[in-house]
Structure 1
Amino acid sequence: MHSKRRYHHGSLKQALIDASLELLAEGGPSALTLTEAARRAGVSPAAPYRHFAGRDALMSELARHGFETFGARIEAAWSEGRPDAQSAMRAMCAAYLKFARDEPGLYAAMFGQAATLADPGAGGAADHALEILWRAVVAWLQQAGAPAQGARYAALQIWAAAHGVAMLTISGHFDSVKTADSALILDAAAQGIMEGAVARAKEAKT
């Protein structure tokens, strides 16, 4: 059983966020309520309303936190396209899957409902993460000698593939020992998407 944590003056919001992240890690989004977050933080049930209008507002704040952390990790893995765009994309896809495996509850909260991203902070953090992927696609096309036409569409395809593989992985459908290596599956999907994007861009150029 978790003991109630003490929070210092002025840090109630962070204490509630920390408690909420624990709840997400333990039971996913369904385990998160304002009442339980307050209990875990060691404050009264009314205390969260000083910072959050309701559960949706708390979920938006958690999504913002999640997308900022997620974006930082995939951007670091991308490493400005070093040593080349294809290798860097592979590293970025691996970082995507690692985040989902390490933070399954938070990942589910981030992507569970698009309405969560209506908040400018959460939505902006999500857009930034997608922009990193878009920049990676542009770099791959440029290194292949193709124009950046269709880069956003290819980025959305890779995002969809990565999300699908991530969800199948964290739900236990993909097992590197028993069934399939999720990293290899995502690598192959990204490679196929980019080969198609390069071919289409070159065809449109002629």
Structure 2
Amino acid sequence: MVKRGYHHGNLRQALIEAALVLIEAKGPTGFSLSEAAKHAGVTPAAVYRHFAGREDLIAATALQGYGIFFDVMQHASQDGHLSDLAAFEACGRAYLDFAQKFPGHYIAMFESGISVNYSPELALASSNANAILENAAERLSRHIPMEKRPPASMFSAHIWALSHGVVELFARNSPGTQSPYAPEDLLETGIGIYLRGLGLIEID
């Protein structure tokens, strides 16, 4: 392994990238800070200039993930050519797409046991990402009959939970969770059933 050291100019990012590789390979608790240092090509002592411990490194990885997640969700939902319904459904697909393309970030964010309240920055990043789906839910809920209209926060939480369940059970190759249907199809039909149950009217 080529020793990188400080001369590459961004040791912090190199350690986050090392953490991503190790998280995917061993899980968030399956590696040590020393292993991350070795993977990045620096001494363990150098790591502590940036991170207090493994949790701190994983939290930084999750923070970066939420930034990517926000961009993915925002891009999916803010296409001006989409109807409110299509924009909302796009958020669900974006969640699945993110989990498949950025598994290390996804694990750091949702499976590491690191609370979003670990730091103010992480809490804000999580809130901003959640707000994308909640805003899409609020726009779509205007088309739902008042007597069947849940709060936008509940509406978005239901879809978030559905998306998360599809990812965990059918998009991560978990043992014993094989399905004859593609994760994308499971998610799309699940969202459709949920919206019909709310009495969603047809949207132009």
Alignment TM-score > 0.5, same fold: yes
Q: Kindly indicate whether the alpha-carbon contact (under 8 Å) linking 1:117 and 1:126 is maintained by their aligned counterparts in 2.
A: no
Matched, 1:187 2:191: no
The aligned amino acid for 1:21 is L
SS in structure 2 opposite 1:170?
Answer: coil
CA-to-partner distance for each residue in 1:7-54, whole Å, 9 max, x for gaps?
Answer: 436522122112212222333323442111111111111111111111
CA-to-partner distance for each residue in 1:87-131, whole Å, 9 max, x for gaps?
Answer: 122222222111111222321121122525421111211111111
Identical positions, percent: 35
How far apart in 1 are the matches of 2:185 and 2:22? Answer: 31
Q: 1:17 to 1:158 in 2, by over 3 A?
A: same
1:72 is aligned to: 71
Higher helix share: 1
Q: Kindly indicate whether the alpha-carbon contact (under 8 Å) linking 1:78 and 1:88 is maintained by their aligned counterparts in 2.
A: yes
Q: 1:156 to 1:114 in 2, by over 3 A?
A: farther
Q: 1:131 to 1:116 in 2, by over 3 A?
A: closer
169, 172, 181: which one pairs with 1:170? 172
Q: Kindly indicate whether the alpha-carbon contact (under 8 Å) linking 1:66 and 1:107 is maintained by their aligned counterparts in 2.
A: yes
How far apart in 2 are the matches of 1:114 and 1:190? Answer: 28
How far apart in 1 are the matches of 2:181 and 2:163? Answer: 15
How far apart in 2 are the matches of 1:185 and 1:174? Answer: 13
TM-score, length-scaled by structure 1: 0.83
How far apart in 2 are the matches of 1:82 and 1:33? Answer: 47
2:84 is aligned to: 85
1:202 is aligned to: none
SS in structure 1 opposite 2:134?
Answer: helix
Deviates more, 1:73-82 or 1:131-140: 73-82
Unaligned runs of 5+ in 1: 200-206
Which residues in structure 2 correspond to 1:32-47 (within 5 Å)?
32-47=31-46
Q: Kindly indicate whether the alpha-carbon contact (under 8 Å) linking 2:76 and 2:87 is maintained by their aligned counterparts in 1.
A: yes
Unaligned runs of 5+ in 2: none
TM-score, length-scaled by structure 2: 0.83
How far apart in 2 are the matches of 1:146 and 1:84? Answer: 20
How far apart in 2 are the matches of 1:28 and 1:143? Answer: 42
Q: 1:26 to 1:161 in 2, by over 3 A?
A: same
The aligned amino acid for 2:39 is R
1:158 is aligned to: 159
CA-to-partner distance for each residue in 1:153-188, whole Å, 9 max, x for gaps?
Answer: 11111111111111111134666xx61121122122
CA-to-partner distance for each residue in 1:56-93, whole Å, 9 max, x for gaps?
Answer: 11111111111110111011011256420111222222
Q: How many equivalent residue pairs?
A: 196
